A = this chain, B = another copy of it.
Amino acid sequence: MTSRPFDLLNESVGKEVLVVTKGSLSFRGTLKAFDVHMNVVLENAEELLEGETKKKYSKIIIRGDTVIYIAP
C-alpha cells in the first residue's frame, strides 16, 4: 500500500515508467534512481512524440522540477 507519494517511486525502481514533463515531452524507460527533488534516471529510455518513439537513450537524467507526472 502507498502511504506517501514517493513510496510509489520507491516501488517502481527497476520497473518501466512513463515520465511526462513541462513542454509536453514524454519519456518511457526503466526507473533506475530518483531523489527528493524528483530528479529521475531512466535506463533504456525512449522519448515519445504522439505515442511514437522519437529518440532512444541508454540512460537519461530528467530534472525533477520539469516533471508533471510519473506513471509506473
Interface residue ranges, A against B (CB under 8 Å):
1-9, 18, 21-25, 27, 32-35, 38-41, 43, 45, 57-72
- Identical chains bound together, number: 7
Q: How far is the CB of A56 from chain B (nearest CB, A)?
A: 10
Which B residues touch A22, using CB under 8 A?
Answer: 22-23, 66, 68
Which B residues touch A7, using CB under 8 A?
Answer: 33, 41
With A22-B23, A68-B25, A68-B66 already in contact, the answer to whether A33 and B58 are too (CB < 8 A) is no
Q: Which of B33, B67, B71 contacts A63 (CB 8 A)?
A: B67
Contact A2 B41 (CB under 8 A): yes
8 A-B interface contacts by CB (under 8 A): A6-B35, A21-B68, A21-B69, A22-B68, A38-B63, A60-B71, A61-B70, A65-B65
